[in-house]
Homo-oligomer: A and B are copies of this chain.
Amino acid sequence: MSVTIRDVALRAGVSKTTVSRVLNGRGELDERTAERVRAVIDELGYVPSARAVAFARGSARVIGMLVPSLAWPWTGEVVQAAVEVAEEAGYGMLVFTATQGEQSMRRFAGHVSAKAIDGLLVIEPDGTLDAITALHDDGLPVVLIDDRGSEPRFPSVSTTNRLGARAAAHHLLALGRHRPLVVSGEPRFGCIRERLAGFDEGYASAGVTLDPGLVVEGDFTYESGQTAAARALEAGLRFDSVFAHNDVMAAGAMAVLRGAGLRIPEDVAVVGFDDLPLAAQTDPPLTAVHQPIREMGQTAARMLLAACAGTPPPDEAIVLPTSFTVRTSTAG
């Protein structure tokens, strides 16, 4: 069998308590004793059993993260940033995906209520909120990412969706574009409702009322951006610009518009949302509202770790500022 704390204690001629103290740097101990114990630990190649430690300590030093999918461009960024913070703090990160509906949620809830994790990060809790709420009420620290307001009882980290969309409106207004085609996401997401409202407000502040017929709902995919643009063209809608609720849909829309012989930005100016790396890689490069995605992941992870350590998380939602990146798709 593998070497345990008992073997180390025996060989070093001390008690398991002392070995444990050396391991955890707790309590005063004779430096020479500690030295001797360390030597034995090295000699034996002893590594404490994570499972035993977790059990005895009542905490696994593992946090969980529930994500809709890891294969979406922006979730990858958020998770990566959060994992880095967790690892930095000596925590592991257990990922759960909610792609498989009911059943994956059941399994997830099992893991979690079984105390396999010390805290939970959640991206877009759409459809999982009941489960999350139950866990939270049960004492599990939870931090939501990108879902401000929809559930004010949870600590959360989001971004200024509303102001970001307003900035997009001002930018297009400054270019004299009064008929933007809005390619939105699904309105069940709080961030989408914010973006719709902010965009309207931006135009309203200049006395321009938007044509409600120019709002098309997408689903964040490239294809839905294509479809939205294609339908708008077919329907003969008049629009001089596009505001898409993410970069990917903006790219899809641009491909269709260009394919239809329209010039970007001369005929149609296009603005995206997120400002992922791909925004710089479209043709033409995409003007976009910039979300501080990595910062959101890092901040959420830090809040959660603090909560695990006993620091109650802030009462109001943390809202990180968006910025605005101008590229050729509006500024040709």
Give chain A's interface residue range (CB within 8 Å of chain B): 35 or more
Chain A contacts with B in 245-260, Cβ cutoff 8 A? 251-252, 255, 258
Pairwise interchain contact A80-B87, C-beta atoms closer than 8 A: no
A215 at interface, CB cutoff 8 A? no
In Å, the complex CA distance between A281 and B70 comes to: 20
- 5 contacting pairs across A/B (C-beta < 8 A): A70-B70, A71-B76, A73-B76, A90-B107, A258-B283
Sorted nearest first, the 3 A-B pairs with minimum C-beta distance are A50-B114, A50-B116, A55-B55
Which residues of chain A (61-78) have a CB below 8 Å from chain B? 62, 69-73, 75-77
User: Once the chains are docked, how many angstroms separate the CA of A104 from the CA of B113?
Assistant: 29
A111–B94 contact, CB under 8 A?
Answer: no
Report the bound CA distance from A317 to B118 in whole Å.
38
The copy count of this chain in the complex is 2
The listed residue with most B CB atoms (<10 A of its CB), out of A80, A94, A113, A251, is A80
Binding site for B on A (CB under 8 A): 2, 47-55, 58, 60, 62, 69-73, 75-77, 79-80, 83-84, 87, 90, 92-97, 99-100, 104, 107-108, 110-111, 113-116, 222, 251-252, 255, 258, 277-278, 280-281, 283
